[in-house]
C-alpha cells in the first residue's frame, strides 16, 4: 500500500493550488450578558435539563430523573452517589447496558452551546456514559468558557486519547423530522452546576 | 434519463412533495435562527473559508504530519487511491480477524465507495446504525439527503418496514415508538460487535486526532466496545491545528440542523486503551485510519471547482435549494444530491451527471448560506460551460442552447419573436396557451401578458428622464 501513499502525495503535490496564508486567530465575540441563563437555554433546547446546586450537598438538592434510591444499577465517578448494582459487579463493559444511571464529572461547560467537555478516565467510564438510561454531568460553576475558541485553548488534544463534548441526551429526528430523545444512548441528560452554598436539611433522596 | 425525468416519480405524489418541501424549509429556518444568535457569524464563515484555502495548499505536508502523529498515538494508517482500494483494505482488516459483521455509523465516503455491497458480496454483514441510514439500508435504497438520509419517507412507510424487518406490531406510526423499536434492535448489534466503522468530520494534522459528530451516539457506541475501529477519511477533511476546530464546529451543527452543537462531538487519538473489562473479542483495541483520494486530487487540480473541497457536508445548500426541496434527493441519482452534489459529481463522471448542473435556477441561495463560502452557483454555471465544451450535453439540450444562443446574438430576431409572442397571447385564450406551454404551466398560472416589451418601456422611461433633466436644468 506504500505505492498508494506515494501516488497520492505526488498527485496532491502536482495539483497544489497557490499558497494562501493561514488566517490569524479570530477575536472572540463579545461575552453574553447572562452566561448561566444562556447555558440553561441551550441545554434545554438540546433536550437536557439544567440545575444549580450546592457543592457539598448537590445529590440531595437536584431533581433526579427517577428517585435516586430506586435506581438499582448506578455507575458513578463521584463518591456520592456511589456506584452500585451492575456498575460495581460488571466483568465485561457490555454488561453496563443495564445501567439506570451514570454520573460523571465534566471539566468545563461552553456557554454558547451548552456542551460539556469530558475526558473519560477509562474505557469503562466512556461505555457507561453511553449505555446508561440516564446521564448526569457535574461541573463546577467556576468552570465556564464563553465559546469553543476558549474551549480549545484549554484542551490539549495531543495528550487526549479520547475526549468529547456532550450536550443533551442521545437523540434523532430521522423519522419525519420529529424529535425523539433516547436514540441509542441516554434518554435523559442533566447538567448540574455546583457552587458554594448551604446544605438542604432533611431532603428525601 | 435526466434529473427532470427522475423527479417526475417524486412529484407525482403531491402531498409528499409539499411535505418534503416544507420539512426542509423548516430546517432552513432553524438554521437562520441559530446563525442569527451568533454575533460573529460572517467572520466565522470567512475564517473557515480561509483555513480551508490554506489547508488545500498544503495537503501533502498536512497529511504526512497527520500520519506521523496518528502512528505515534498507536493508529495504523492506510492510503487508498480509489474506492476499490478503500474497500479492499477494509475487507482485508475484517478477514484477517475473521470478523463477519461490521457496525457502521454515517459516512458519505463509504456510500461514495460502495462499501456495503462490496462487503456483502464477501459475506460480511454491514449494519448501518444511524437510524435514517438503517431505514434506507433496509429498504435497499441510497440516502436521499446527506444529513437526513430518510427525509423522503413518511412515518407509515417506516412503520411497515419495521414490522417486516424488526417484528414491530403492524400499524405502528408514532416516531417515538418506532425509534424505540430500532433502539432495541440496534443495541444487540452494538453489544456484540467486533468491529465498528466511522467516517471523519475533521482530521487534525498537528495531533493526529480526528473528530466525529453525531446526535444519536451511534459512532460512539459503535467504537466504545469492539476491538477494531476503522475510520474512513477523504483527503479534504484535514485541518492544520486543533484550534481550527472552533470555527468549524461553531458553524457545522448550526448550518446543518439549527442546533448550536450536536449531542456528541468525539475526539479520537489512537486506539482506546486496553481494558480488563472487555470480553475477549473486545480486549485488544486497534484503530485503523484509511485516507482516501478517489478523485479528490483531480478536483484539486481544477481552479474553477477546487473550492468545493472545503465542503463540510452540513447539507444547508440542500435544505435551501428550491429544486432539491421539490424534487427529492433520489432524482439526482448521485451519492451527494443538491447543489454541492451537482458540483462534485460531474467531476467524477461528466457524462453520467451532465444534467445535474442544470437542476438549478441560479438563485444563489446555496452560495449565501454555505458556511465555508463555496461559490456554489458560480461553479454550477461554470460546469454548464465546461459540459457544453466537452460535448457532454444531450442532443436536445445542445439544440435548445444553440437556438437560444443564436436568438440572443441577433437582436432583430429577438425583438420579432417578442412582438409575435405578445400578439399571439392577446389573440389566443389563456387555457389554450397554457396547454401549449405545458409542462411549464403545470402548477403555475401564466402571468398577464404586457402590451409593450421591457425594451420599449425602458427606452421611453429613459427618454422621459432625459427630458425632465433638461427642463430642470433650464428652469434652474
Q: Do B69 and A91 touch (CB under 8 A)?
A: no
Closest Cα to residue B357, out of B309, B307, B321? B321
In chain B, % of residues over pLDDT 70 = 96
Closest Cα to residue A48, out of A123, A139, A124? A139
User: What number is the average pLDDT over the span B311-336?
Assistant: 97
| Position A1 pLDDT exceeds 70 | no
- Looking at B298, B325, B351, which one is the last position of a domain? B298
Q: Residue A112: give the domain boundaries.
A: 35-195
Q: What integer pLDDT is reported at residue B267 of this predicted model?
A: 98
In terms of residues, how long is chain B? 476
pTM of the model: 0.93
Degrees to nearest 5, angle at CA B84 with B78 and B88: 55
Question: Residue B295 corresponds to which cell in the numbers above?
Answer: 478523485
Q: What integer pLDDT is reported at residue A201 of this predicted model?
A: 59
Q: Which residue has the higher pLDDT, B353 or B469?
A: B353
Q: What integer pLDDT is reported at residue A204 of this predicted model?
A: 43
Q: Residue B442: give the domain boundaries.
A: 410-475
| B324 inside domain | no
Any A CB within 8 A of B58 CB: yes
Closest Cα to residue B233, out of B39, B80, B347, B359? B80
Cα–Cα distance, B317 to B340 (Å, whole number) = 7
| A8 inside domain | no
Closest Cα to residue B311, out of B209, B152, B216, B202? B202
Answer yes or no: are the C-beta atoms of B211 and B25 closer than 8 Å.
no
Q: What integer pLDDT is reported at residue B393 of this predicted model?
A: 86
| B137 inside domain | yes
| A130 inside domain | yes
Q: Do A93 and B175 touch (CB under 8 A)?
A: no
| A191 inside domain | yes
Tell whether the torsion through CA atoms of B112, B294, B384 and B373 is positive or negative. positive
* Rg of chain A in Å (alpha carbons): 21
| Position B274 pLDDT exceeds 50 | yes
Q: What integer pLDDT is reported at residue A35 of this predicted model?
A: 96
| Position B412 pLDDT exceeds 80 | yes
pLDDT range class, residue A150, cuts 50, 70, 90? very high
| B375 inside domain | no
Degrees to nearest 5, angle at CA B246 with A172 and A157: 95
Q: Do A130 and B221 touch (CB under 8 A)?
A: yes
| B25 inside domain | no
| B223 inside domain | yes
Any A CB within 8 A of B185 CB: no
In total, how many domains does chain B have? 2
Q: Which residue has the higher pLDDT, B389 or A36?
A: A36
Domain check: are B145 and B283 in the same one?
yes
pLDDT in tens, B26-49: 999 999 999 999 999 999 999 999
Any B CB within 8 A of A46 CB: yes
Domain check: are B416 and B292 in the same one?
no
pLDDT in tens, B207-251: 999 999 999 999 999 999 999 999 999 999 999 999 999 999 999
Q: Any idea which of A50-59, B300-309, B436-445, B448-457 has the lowest mean pLDDT?
A: B436-445
Q: Any idea which of A157-171, B102-116, B460-474 has the lowest mean pLDDT?
A: B460-474
In total, how many domains does chain A have? 1
CATH of residue A111? 3.40.50.10420
| B57 inside domain | yes
- Looking at B298, B314, B334, which one is the last position of a domain? B298
| B305 inside domain | no
| Position A109 pLDDT exceeds 80 | yes
CATH of residue B284? 3.40.50.10420
Which helix (H) or strand (E) element contains residue A139?
A: strand A134-140
User: Who among A7, A19, A174 is closest to B150 (CB)?
Assistant: A174
Degrees to nearest 5, angle at CA B81 with B80 and B87: 50
Amino acid at each position: 500500500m506504500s505505492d498508494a501513499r506515494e501516488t497520492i502525495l505526488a498527485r496532491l503535490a502536482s495539483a497544489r493550488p497557490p499558497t494562501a496564508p493561514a488566517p490569524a486567530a479570530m477575536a472572540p465575540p463579545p461575552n453574553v450578558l447572562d452566561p448561566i441563563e444562556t447555558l440553561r437555554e441551550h441545554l434545554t433546547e438540546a433536550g437536557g435539563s439544567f440545575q444549580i446546586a450546592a457543592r457539598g450537598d448537590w445529590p440531595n438538592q437536584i431533581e433526579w430523573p427517577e428517585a435516586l434510591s430506586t435506581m438499582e444499577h448506578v455507575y458513578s465517578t463521584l463518591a456520592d452517589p456511589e456506584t452500585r448494582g451492575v456498575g460495581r459487579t460488571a466483568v465485561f463493559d457490555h454488561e453496563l447496558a443495564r445501567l439506570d444511571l451514570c454520573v460523571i464529572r465534566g471539566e468545563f461547560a461552553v456557554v454558547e452551546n451548552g456542551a460539556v467537555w469530558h475526558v473519560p478516565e477509562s474505557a469503562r467510564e466512556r461505555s457507561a456514559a453511553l449505555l446508561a438510561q440516564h446521564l448526569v454531568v457535574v461541573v463546577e460553576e467556576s468552570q465556564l468558557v464563553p465559546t469553543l475558541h476558549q474551549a480549545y485553548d484549554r484542551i490539549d488534544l495531543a495528550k487526549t486519547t479520547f475526549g468529547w463534548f456532550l450536550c443533551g441526551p442521545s437523540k434523532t429526528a430521522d423519522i419525519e423530522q420529529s424529535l425523539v430523545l433516547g436514540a441509542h444512548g441516554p434518554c435523559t441528560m442533566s447538567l448540574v452546576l455546583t457552587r458554594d452554598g448551604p446544605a438542604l436539611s432533611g431532603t428525601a433522596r | 434519463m435526466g434529473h427532470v425525468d427522475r423527479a417526475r416519480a417524486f412529484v407525482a405524489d403531491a402531498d409528499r412533495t409539499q411535505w418534503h418541501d416544507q420539512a426542509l424549509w423548516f430546517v432552513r429556518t432553524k438554521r437562520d435562527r441559530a446563525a442569527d444568535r451568533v454575533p460573529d457569524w460572517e467572520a466565522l464563515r470567512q475564517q473557515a473559508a480561509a483555513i480551508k484555502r490554506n489547508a488545500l495548499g498544503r495537503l501533502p505536508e498536512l497529511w504526512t504530519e497527520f500520519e506521523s502523529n496518528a502512528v505515534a498515538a498507536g493508529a495504523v494508517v492506510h492510503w487508498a487511491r480509489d474506492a476499490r482500494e478503500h474497500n479492499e483494505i477494509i475487507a482485508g482488516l475484517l478477514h484477517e480477524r475473521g470478523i463477519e459483521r461490521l457496525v457502521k455509523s454515517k459516512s458519505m465516503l463509504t456510500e461514495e465507495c460502495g462499501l456495503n455491497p462490496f462487503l456483502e458480496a464477501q459475506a460480511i454483514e454491514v449494519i448501518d446504525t444511524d437510524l435514517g441510514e438503517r431505514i434506507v439500508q433496509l429498504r435497499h435504497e441510497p440516502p436521499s439527503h446527506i444529513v437526513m438520509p430518510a427525509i423522503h419517507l413518511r412515518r407509515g412507510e417506516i412503520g411497515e418496514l419495521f414490522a417486516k424487518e424488526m417484528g414491530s406490531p403492524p400499524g405502528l406510526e408514532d416516531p417515538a415508538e418506532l425509534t424505540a423499536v430500532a433502539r432495541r434492535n440496534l443495541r444487540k448489534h452494538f453489544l456484540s460487535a467486533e468491529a465498528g466503522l466511522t467516517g471523519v468530520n475533521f482530521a487534525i494534522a498537528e495531533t493526529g486526532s480526528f473528530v466525529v459528530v453525531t446526535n444519536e451516539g451511534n459512532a460512539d457506541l459503535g467504537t466504545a466496545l469492539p476491538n477494531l475501529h476503522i475510520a474512513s477519511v477523504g483527503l479534504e477533511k484535514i485541518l492544520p491545528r486543533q484550534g481550527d476546530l472552533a470555527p468549524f464546529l461553531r458553524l457545522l451543527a448550526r448550518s446543518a440542523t439549527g442546533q448550536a452543537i450536536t449531542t456528541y462531538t468525539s475526539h479520537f487519538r489512537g486506539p482506546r486503551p486496553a481494558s480488563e473489562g472487555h470480553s475477549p473479542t473486545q480486549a485488544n483495541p486497534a484503530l485503523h485510519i484509511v485516507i482516501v483520494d478517489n478523485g479528490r486530487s483531480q478536483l484539486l487540480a481544477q481552479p474553477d471547482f477546487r473550492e468545493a473541497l472545503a465542503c463540510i457536508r452540513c447539507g444547508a445548500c440542500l435544505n435551501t435549494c428550491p429544486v432539491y426541496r421539490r424534487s427529492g434527493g433520489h432524482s439526482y441519482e448521485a451519492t451527494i444530491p443538491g447543489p454541492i452534489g451537482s458540483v462534485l459529481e460531474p467531476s467524477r463522471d461528466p457524462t453520467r451527471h451532465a444534467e445535474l448542473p442544470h437542476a438549478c435556477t441560479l438563485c444563489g441561495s446555496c452560495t449565501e448560506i454555505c458556511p465555508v463560502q463555496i461559490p456554489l452557483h458560480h461553479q454550477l454555471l461554470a460546469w454548464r460551460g465546461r459540459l457544453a465544451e466537452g460535448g457532454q450535453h444531450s442532443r436536445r439540450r445542445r439544440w435548445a442552447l444553440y437556438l437560444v444562443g443564436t436568438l440572443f446574438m441577433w437582436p432583430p430576431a429577438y425583438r420579432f419573436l417578442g412582438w409575435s409572442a405578445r400578439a399571439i397571447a392577446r389573440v389566443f385564450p389563456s387555457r389554450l396557451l397554457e396547454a401549449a406551454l405545458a409542462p411549464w404551466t403545470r402548477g403555475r398560472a401564466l402571468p398577464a401578458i404586457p402590451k409593450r416589451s421591457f425594451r420599449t418601456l425602458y427606452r421611453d422611461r429613459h427618454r422621459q428622464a432625459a427630458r425632465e433633466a433638461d427642463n430642470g436644468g433650464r428652469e434652474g
